[in-house]
Amino acid sequence: MAGYVEQVFGAPAKPGGQLTEFQQKKVTDYLKLVKWIVNRIAERLPRHIDTEDLMH
């Protein structure tokens, strides 16, 4: 099972909380999708809520 998890999610995070190269690539790959989802949610929220607050 550990081998499968490493194949899917990459190696565990490095000491100090830094991401591995594989994990960084996954974050950047999904960033556009996250921004799209945030914008879709923001369309239905009151105008005073900033989309930056949803992403962080």
The DSSP element (H or E) to which 34 belongs, if any, is helix 21-42
The label of the residue with tokens 């914008």 reads 39
Q: Could you count the other beta carbons within 10 Å of the beta carbon of residue 20?
A: 14
Per-residue confidence (pLDDT) for residue 14, from 0 to 100: 62
pLDDT at 13: 59
Residue 50 has a pLDDT of 83
The alpha carbon of residue 54 and the mean position of all alpha carbons in its chain are separated, in whole angstroms, by 12
The pLDDT value recorded for residue 36 is 92
pLDDT < 70 regions, the chain: 1-16, 56
- Model's pTM, two decimal places? 0.52
DSSP state of 2: H
Please name which of 47, 41, 19, 18 lies closest in space to residue 55, comparing C-alpha atoms. Answer: 41
